[in-house]
Structure 1
Amino acid sequence: MTFLEITDSLTAEFGDAIQANTQNLQPYLIVPADRLVAICQFLRDDKRLFFDLLACITGIDNGLQVNTMEVVYNLTSIPYEHNLMLKVFVPRDTGSSQLPSVPSVVSIWRTADWHEREAFDLVGIRFEGHPDLRRILLPTDWVGHPLRTDYQEEEQYHGIKTK
């Protein structure tokens, strides 16, 4: 199935909630955070699509000037041999001390458990509804999220120089 056929299937089901970007070498779909779970459920369960593998989730901090973060989902249908990239954009500055958040897709693809924890740990994106959202790579008492553009590394960690 081609990217345009996949896009047409999603547009027929979800209307204008789906935005296609075909300008890049790898085209992708932009989906709103509040429709993410329903769209992912459809992508997995629809017999024509059957995206049975969540290959990767990547969190990206677009910086203070752009003031957005994005979560990128790379999906694969193993039996049909087609791939799809989804992107969800969220405001970087939530206006409070809370982290930017998107819904968890762990209920759809179990492998999202570790991917979401990694994005939370390194970029500071909260995945609402995640069953065990805690750091996965850094110690539990680590301060900050090292892949954020404004991250300031501490001089020491438990008496060990970090710089």
Structure 2
Amino acid sequence: MNFQEITGLIVSKFPDLSIDADIKGPQPILVVPVESIADICRFLFEDERLYFDYLACITAIDNGAGLATMEVIYNLTSIPYNLNLTIKTVFSRNVPGAPLPSVPTVSHIWRTADWHEREAFDLMGIHFEGHPDLRRILLPEDWEGHPLRKDYVVQDRYHGIYVRYEDGQLPDTSDRV
């Protein structure tokens, strides 16, 4: 089964959705509405013609203030059918101080999504609605901000530890005991 056939199955199952294909790069990507990502993923997992039983990766991109969007990309594999599929959703990139952008979780479909979604939450500030344990996974719980966002402002110190050095110069540590 090829990309066009998989896309056809999804479009026939979800005829009212605006589903698009991004075929500019070396690998085609199916672009789906953010509010439908969990339903489409469930279909891809449960349909016996497809059975995408392995979620290899979830990653996120911040397209910056210019485009004012973010993306979540899902790399799926059907091990029995030797199929690979990349799907993504594009959504509004809320401004600083506003609630985090929200995407439905797929952790109830693939258990591995639990950690992938927590990483995207931690580093990009994307809230995964319905996630059973959405909390930081790489950074300490009291870390401020989400460091892979384009609008992230690096704090100078964290619990007395220098996080950033200005102009490549080491900080003055003469005040240390």
TM-score normalized by structure 1?
0.96
Query: Corresponding residue for 1:137?
Result: 138
Structure 2 residue ranges without an equivalent (≥5) = 165-177
Cα deviation, residue 97, structure 1: 1.9
Cα deviation, residue 95, structure 1: 8.7
Query: Corresponding residue for 1:10?
Result: 10
Query: Corresponding residue for 1:111?
Result: 112
Contact 1:116–1:127 under 8 Å retained in 2: yes
Higher mean C-alpha deviation, range 96-105 or range 64-73? 96-105
Query: Corresponding residue for 2:80?
Result: 79
Cα deviation, residue 31, structure 1: 0.6
- Which protein shows a greater Rg? 2
Query: Corresponding residue for 1:148?
Result: 149
Please state whether the residue corresponding to 1:119 is helix, strand or coil: helix
Runs ≥4 residues deviating over 6 A: none
Contact 1:94–1:100 under 8 Å retained in 2: no
Q: Deviations over 1:96-128 (max 9, x none)?
A: 620001000011111100000000000000000
Cα deviation, residue 36, structure 1: 1.0
CA distance in 2, matches of 1:59, 1:124: 10
Q: Note the 1:9-158 alignment, pairs <5 A.
A: 9-15=9-15, 16-93=17-94, 97-158=98-159
CA distance in 2, matches of 1:17, 1:49: 21
Change (3 A) 1:120 1:95: closer
**Identity, % of aligned positions:** 59
Higher mean C-alpha deviation, range 65-74 or range 16-25? 16-25
Cα deviation, residue 61, structure 1: 0.4
| Superposed CA RMSD | 1.2
CA distance in 1, matches of 2:85, 2:109: 16
Please state whether the residue corresponding to 2:109 is helix, strand or coil: coil
CA distance in 1, matches of 2:55, 2:105: 13
Structure 1 residue ranges without an equivalent (≥5) = none
Contact 2:96–2:151 under 8 Å retained in 1: no
TM-score normalized by structure 2?
0.89
